[in-house]
Structure 1
Amino acid sequence: MSILSRYLAGQILASIGLTLAVLLLLFGFFDLLEEMGDVGQGNYTMAKALLYIALHQPGRIHELMPIAAIIGALFALARLAVNSEFNVMRASGLPPWQLIKLMLGLGGSLALAILIVGELVTPVAEQAAQQIKLRTTSRVVAQEFKSGLWAKDGQNFINAQEMLPDSTLVNIRIYQFDERFQLKAIQAAESGIWMEDGHWQLKNVQTTRLDESGARTELVPSLRWQSSITPELLSVLMVTPDRMALHALYSYIGHLKENRQKTTRYEIALWAKLVYPLAAPVMLLLALPFVYLQPRATGVSGRVMIGVLIGLAFYLVNRLAAHLGLLNDWPPSLSAGLPILVFSSLAAASLWLVERR
């Protein structure tokens, strides 16, 4: 990398880092205002609320990096243009293709950072944040309906009244059906604890078996229960799909397909995790045409405002595409990739118009 490229890269990355820090502070302040209503419930103190917000930041970094990229890049490039540094660079023989190559290189680095944060840091931090809040405000992780939490495991239907932060299931009902979908047994357990060797240990189990001769009931203090329902699958109740790890999403989608349940929401989240990092190089390329505008046409503040508007538009289009895809059963790859496709087309068209000038 030449001295000029290193200088440009340093200026752009510094501006992106500053922009990201400002956005994190802004969204952190909004998160704090939202958490103030829960402070004082149980053992949920202000210190716990601040820790909860801090653990949310990796998810925010993953979400805000493309927006920070275009705002930071426009700020850095506009400052270079206003100070006539960019004109000097062009007069020294800096071709547009070299700037495009530089932006793609920086965008690739940011995309890798987004992927690492989203895959390795965000899921762990998000789960830890939810556990802190649940343990200090309430003992219940999930209770999707009045009758509790429901799941399907092969030909069995499982109902748990509550799920605790340590993945313990409370007041479990297991409805077993035969190949003709006729109820053959009902198991009721006081609780179920996940064991390290990969099974649930049920306590105080009452089993009612149904056959042609009638119903028979037996009571046992403890029973081993082997099931494909694991704490990892149940962890989706604590972490939203867009902040889950790829392997967790893939595993849960497989579980839903095996049980013939709808997977669209999680497939969209899976594809979004794969294509969202590409937003970083697209945003940097979209910022590049603005540097060729005359400095007096739009100053630094004007170009930063343009960056804010483009970043906001990308955020809204990304959310809108996901919701429309879920409502209209679009292919998950289309729902996740449409915003990237639209903004990359805008970037290509803008660069082409600049080249024609």
Structure 2
Amino acid sequence: MKVIQRYFTAEITRSVLFALAAFLALFAFFEMMGQLEQVGRNGYKLQQAVLYVVMGLPGNVYELMPTAVLIGTIYTLSQLAARSEFTIMRVSSMSTGMAAKVLARIGIGFAVLTILFGELIAPKATEWAEKLKLQAQGASLSSQFRSGMWAKDVIKDNGLEGSVTGSRFINIQAVQPDGRIEGVRLYELDNDFHMARMVTAKSGVYQGNHQWTLSEVTQSDFTGGKERKITEPVKTVRLGEVKLTSEVTPEILSVLFADPDRMSAYDLRAYTKHLEANNQRTDRYEIAFWKKIVYPLSIFVMMALALPFAYLHFRAGGVSLKIFTGIMIGVCFQLINSLFSHLGLLNTWPAFITAALPSLLFMVLAVGALWWVERN
């Protein structure tokens, strides 16, 4: 059995890597075509466009891994069946269960590789690629809203500790690639939601440990709370620099511009906790988090879907037909996976069910296909 395990591992790994390389080349080509339209604008050079495309490939590896595993496994099993090798293995007492165990052991390696790209390599590479492009074009991150981007924070007695004394709404016009923020407005409210203070600053620099330094600050204090009269004056002072303690960090700000599907599960969980602490909706990020947890398991689903193809025999065009079928199944899986994310968000389905249901449906399909080939 060890010989069969090594043989299957070598053949399937080779086929999966070939399929993955073909997909990556195709995606890189189309992405490069899109980047060529921007080359020459605002100092954006061809070599920077190429580097941007290359740094986006780890994200494509993560997204395409289940489909590549499906196609590579189907090709390998189809070749074994066409050469009657799989038939000989079955005659030599290799049952369907044993074949499934062999594929499952191979799938563990691909699942670990998927986790590695999804949690460590792809998020960082995507972040660096966006920073590279912004720096090359001399641009900054800005919200799709005319008023800029918004974030919510809580105010506590002793910075990040102590009891909550109010809430703070943060409005930022732009975030530079180096993390510096520009056009800052802070609206601070007390626990009764009465305006307590408004702060405007030209820019802000993050110092670490949840500390910001705001420069060219104008601070307006509204005293009196709910007892304050309209005729009471507002105390306004101009300051050079002001230290601000906030739970909002550059990492949290970058989340507002990032695609949740390209973020790591760790970052998604941290941002979800921040939203929960500020009584904001977390549905989109919870679904993305559970998709990150479930997605590596889809490798085993794809392996299970590929196994029935080893039992199907065609006299002509067998391998090509099976590969085409595998591509269609892989495309359908990606489409249904994305579709259920939107359906779950619209219908407020539980995040775990929304993320796991596509894989469960395809696993049922795989089990049904195995039952059919066993009966026939």
Give the structure-1-normalised TM-score.
Answer: 0.97
Give the residue type in structure 1 aligned to 2:99.
L
* Pairing partner for 2:185 from 150, 173, 176: 173
Q: Which residue of 2 aligns with 1:106?
A: 106
User: Is there any run of 5+ residues in structure 1 with no aligned partner, and where?
Assistant: none
* Pairing partner for 2:369 from 338, 343, 350: 350
User: Is contact 1:126–1:239 with CA below 8 Å preserved after alignment?
Assistant: no
Answer yes or no: is 1:253 the counterpart of 2:279.
Answer: no
Q: Which residue of 2 aligns with 1:82?
A: 82
Give the residue type in structure 1 aligned to 2:349.
W
Give the residue type in structure 2 aligned to 1:260.
N
**Deviation digits for residues 238-292 of structure 1 (CA, Å, limit 9, x no counterpart):** 4311111111111111111111111111111000000000111110111101111
Separation in structure 1 between the aligned mates of residue 216 and residue 9 of structure 2, nearest angstrom: 64
* Pairing partner for 2:296 from 267, 277, 299: 277
**CA-based RMSD:** 1.3
Answer yes or no: is 1:204 the counterpart of 2:223.
Answer: no
Q: Which has the higher contact order (CA 8 A, sep 6+)?
A: 1
Answer yes or no: is 1:312 the counterpart of 2:331.
Answer: yes
Deviation of 1:166 after TM superposition, in Å, equals: 1.2
Give the residue type in structure 1 aligned to 2:141.
V
3-state SS of paired residue (2:56): helix
**Deviation digits for residues 126-157 of structure 1 (CA, Å, limit 9, x no counterpart):** 10000011111242112231111111112111
Separation in structure 1 between the aligned mates of residue 80 and residue 334 of structure 2, nearest angstrom: 27
Between the aligned residues of both structures, percent identity stands at 40
**Deviation digits for residues 296-319 of structure 1 (CA, Å, limit 9, x no counterpart):** 275110110011011011011101
User: Is contact 1:264–1:326 with CA below 8 Å preserved after alignment?
Assistant: yes
Matches within 5 A, 1:31-46: 31-46=31-46
Deviation of 1:329 after TM superposition, in Å, equals: 1.1
* Pairing partner for 1:187 from 176, 179, 199: 199
User: Is contact 2:210–2:247 with CA below 8 Å preserved after alignment?
Assistant: no
Moved over 6 A (4+): none
Give the residue type in structure 2 aligned to 1:86.
F
Number of aligned residues:
357
Answer yes or no: is 1:229 the counterpart of 2:251.
Answer: no
Q: Which residue of 1 aligns with 2:161?
A: none
3-state SS of paired residue (2:115): helix
User: Is contact 1:286–1:347 with CA below 8 Å preserved after alignment?
Assistant: yes
3-state SS of paired residue (1:175): strand
Separation in structure 2 between the aligned mates of residue 339 and residue 27 of structure 1, nearest angstrom: 24
- 341-350 or 137-146, larger mean C-alpha shift: 137-146
**Deviation digits for residues 8-55 of structure 1 (CA, Å, limit 9, x no counterpart):** 221111101100000000111111111111111112111111111111
Separation in structure 1 between the aligned mates of residue 193 and residue 256 of structure 2, nearest angstrom: 28
Separation in structure 1 between the aligned mates of residue 216 and residue 313 of structure 2, nearest angstrom: 78
Give the residue type in structure 1 aligned to 2:83.
N
User: Is there any run of 5+ residues in structure 2 with no aligned partner, and where?
Assistant: 155-166
